[in-house]
Chains A and B, each alone.
Chain A
Amino acid sequence: MKAPAFAYARATSVESALEMLSAHGEKAKLLSGGQSLLPAMNLRLISPEIVIDIGDLAELRGVVVRDGILSVGALTRHVELLESPAIATSAPLVAEAVRHVAHPAIRNRGTIGGSLAHADPAAELPACMVALAATIVVRGKSGERRVAAGDFFQGIFATALSAEELLVSIELPIERNPSAHFFHEFARRHGDYALAGVAAHATMEGRVLSGLRMAFFAVADKPVLAKAAARLINVSVTPAQISDAAEAFGDELDPAEDQQASADLRRHLAKVLFRRCAGALTAVGAAR
C-alpha cells in the first residue's frame, strides 16, 4: 500500500523542528531514517498531517566520549553504531545488538533515536538502553530534560516523549569496573523482530557478579529488567541457583500471544535466555 497524502517540511535546525512540532502537535511526525515510520504510513497504521524531516540535522549525528560518558546523537545510524570504534570499546553490547537489527539496507537508514522514540517492544536497542542504564536526552521549546531509560519506555510504541519534544541524544555511562555483556535473541529469520531476546550488562568484583542488569525484549509491552537477577549478585553461583532464578523470572512475566508465538513459548524462550545469559556471565566472573 501507499502512504496517504501528507505535507512535508524539512527542519533546518533543532529549533526549527521544535517550532514546527509545537505548531502541529499530535498531527505531526518526525522523520529521521524512516525505517519504522514509513512502513507504518504505507500500511496506513498512522497518517500524520505533516511529516517533519530532521534527517539533515548534522548536529544530531555522531558518537563522542566526554567526562566518562558516551554521548550518541539521535540521528546516528545503525550502520554507524556497528562501525564506531567508541561504541565497540565502551558499549560493546550495543555493537553486538545492532547486528541483529533488520538487514544492511535498513541499517543504512535507521537511526538510534528513531528506534528509541518508536519504542517497539520487540526492538533490540531499547532493551540495550535499559540494560546499560542509559539517559535519554530530550528537548522541547522550554528546554532540555533527561530521562532514565527505565522510565522512558512506557508501553507499546509509548514513551515519555511529549508530542512537542525531540529526542536529541543518548548518554551511556562508561563502565569503570570490570564488566561483561551478553546479547541473544530468538527470531524466525536473521534480522526479523525477536520472539524473545535479552540484552545484559554485568559488573564483577573478584569472581562474583556485583551487578547484573538483564533487559528482556519482545516478552512484555516494553523492555523489562529481570528482578530474579538479584539472586545471582555477590554470591558464588551454582547451576541450580541459575535454574531456580530462571523459574522465578518466568513467574515475573505475563507475555502476550500473537501470530508469531504463544505466551507459553515466549515464557519458555525467556527462561532459556535467562539461563544462557546468567550461565555465560557468571562463567566470565568465575574465570577471572
Chain B
Amino acid sequence: MTAPMAIALEVNGEPVNAHVLPRLNLADFLREHLQLTGTHVGCEHGVCGACTVRVDGEIVRACLLLAVQVNGKSVQTIEGLSDSGEIADLQAAFRERNALQCGYCTPAMLMAAQDLLRRQAEPSRERIREHLSGNYCRCTGYQAIVDAIEATAQARKVQVR
C-alpha cells in the first residue's frame, strides 16, 4: 500500500490524473508533478503559510494536505488566480505599494488576502492583520501589505457602486 495511488482532481479548472505516493504532499505535487511553482514551500509544518492554496474554494496549507487527500477535489493555485484575472487589482496594488521585496511569501499572501476580501468588503486593518497572521513575511514588515489590501478593498467598493 506504500505504492503509488491513482488520484483524479481538478487543478485551476483542468482535470488532472496522476499516480502519487501517499507521502507526497499537495505542495510538492503541484510543484514537482505539475510544475506549478508559484506555490512555495517554506517550513513544511504549517507555520509560515507560503504554500497556501485553495481546495474546494477554501484556503488551506498545501504542506499539510496529502496529494491523495485531494482526490476528487478542486484545487486553485496562484497561477489559476493570476491567469483568470481575479486578483489583477490586488497584484497591481502590491506592486504599487512595494508590498513585496524578495517575493517568496507573495503568492500565499495574495491567496490569503483574496480569501478575506471575498468574505468581507471592507475589513479593518486589524482584521486584515488577523487574517494574514498565518503568513510570514520577512522583508516588508507587513505595513505595505496591509496598505495594499486596504487600498484594494476600497477600490473594489467604489467599483461596486
Contacts and interface: CB of A to CB of B under 8 A. Distances in A.
Contacts of A104: 59, 112, 115-116, 131, 134
Given A6-B22, A106-B61, A35 B46 contact: yes
Interface in B107-126: 112, 115-116
B46 A39 contact: yes
Interface in B82-122: 112, 115-116
Given A34-B64, A42-B44, A108-B59, A190 B25 contact: no
A6 B134 contact: no
A85 interface: no
Question: Chain A interface mostly helix, strand, loop or mixed?
Answer: loop
A17 to B, nearest CB: 15
B71 to A, nearest CB: 8
A106 B1 contact: no
A53 B67 CA distance: 12
Interface string A1-33: 111111111000000000000000000000100
A226 B21 CA distance: 48
B60 A109 contact: yes
Interface residues of A, number: 31
Contacts of A79: 58
Contacts of B31: none
A206 interface: no
B52 interface: yes
Given A2-B23, A7-B2, A109 B63 contact: no
A98 to B, nearest CB: 13
Given A7-B22, A104-B115, A38 B64 contact: yes
Interface in A91-134: 102-106, 108-109
B87 to A, nearest CB: 17
Of residues B59, B63, B66, B129, which shows the largest number of chain A Cβ atoms within 10 Å of its Cβ? B66
Nearest to A103: B134
B60 A108 contact: yes
Nearest to A109: B60
Contacts of A35: 46, 61, 64
A9 B3 CA distance: 12
B134 A105 contact: yes
Contact of A8 (B25, B66, B115): B66
B32 to A, nearest CB: 11
Given A108-B58, A109-B65, A5 B2 contact: yes
B14 interface: no
Contact of B46 (A3, A5, A7, A106): A106
Given A8-B1, A42-B63, A2 B49 contact: no
Nearest to A99: B130
A105 B65 CA distance: 11
Contacts of B22: 5-8, 51
Given A2-B25, A6-B23, A38 B46 contact: yes
A191 interface: yes
Contacts of B5: 8
Contacts of B60: 105, 108-109
A189 B133 contact: yes
A191 B134 contact: yes
B143 interface: no
A50 B1 contact: yes
A39 B44 CA distance: 7
Contact of B59 (A8, A43, A55, A105): A105
A3 B23 contact: yes
A79 B85 CA distance: 28
Given A53-B69, A103-B134, A108-B59, A7 B64 contact: no
5 contacts: A2-B28, A5-B21, A9-B1, A51-B22, A105-B49
Query: Shortest 9 CB-CB distances between A and B: which pairs?
Result: A103-B134, A7-B1, A8-B22, A39-B45, A190-B133, A108-B58, A105-B59, A38-B64, A191-B133
